[in-house]
Amino acid sequence: MSSTPTMNVALTEAMRAYVAERVASGEYGNTSEYVRDLIRKDQREQRVRRLRALVEEGLASGPAVADSKVDRDELLSIARGDTA
């Protein structure tokens, strides 16, 4: 049987009450589900930020030039979140 590692987090009373309200609303089954959802949302946000930064970098790099299959594959990989 595998177990999931745990992590302790210190919260203010106001934050604890807020999390408890979110769980009590029924949207989340427990506190861990709520925290995992926040982490997944943050991970998605970071991927979007990275992609936006790459687009900005590309726009600032000057006139477009034809890309190669390697270039397209790399961009698709980044967009999918396959690379760090």
* Predicted local distance difference test score (pLDDT) of residue 83: 59
* Predicted local distance difference test score (pLDDT) of residue 1: 54
At 39, give phi and psi (nearest 5°): -65, -45
Domain extent listing, the chain: 13-80
**pLDDT tens digit sequence for 54-75:** 999 999 999 888 889 999 999 9
Sign of CA dihedral 76, 51, 47, 25: negative
Q: Which residues, 6+ apart, have CB-to-CB distance to 24 below 8 Å?
A: none
* Segments in the chain below pLDDT 70: 1-2, 83-84
* Predicted local distance difference test score (pLDDT) of residue 13: 98
Contact 59, 65 (CB under 8 A): no
